[in-house]
Amino acid sequence: MVKIILCGNAAVEGGFSINKELLIDNMTEETIVSQRVVFDAIHAAGMVVIKVEITSKIIAGVRQANAQYKMALQAKQLQQTEEEKAAREVRREI
């Protein structure tokens, strides 16, 4: 039973060291989670990143992900603009 607990702790501690390698200054939480999901999926498949064959399906997936990222970024900027306008209106009323 002790071995099981110790092995579980080793896996968790290993996860922390992997997370530390992924971190870059000014990285958002979404980016960290996304990178970890990709890493875990590759690790679960038993693959090494170097051995991944780049297919047209992967390229299409990357293009789609990039398009979704750009749309999310635009939506975030629009939301910030709307929040700034609302804050200005509140200041004008006061």
The token duo for 75 is 């939506």
Distance between CA atoms of 32 and 79, rounded to whole angstroms?
Answer: 22
**pLDDT, average across residues 48-62:** 80
Rounded to 5 degrees, what angle do the CA atoms 55, 56, 62 make?
A: 95
pLDDT at 54: 77
Backbone angles phi, psi at 34, to 5 degrees: -60, -45
Tens of pLDDT, residues 65-92: 999 999 999 999 999 999 998 888 888 8
Q: Name residue, tokens 């702790």.
A: 9
User: pTM value?
Assistant: 0.46
Domains of the chain by residue range:
1-50, 53-94
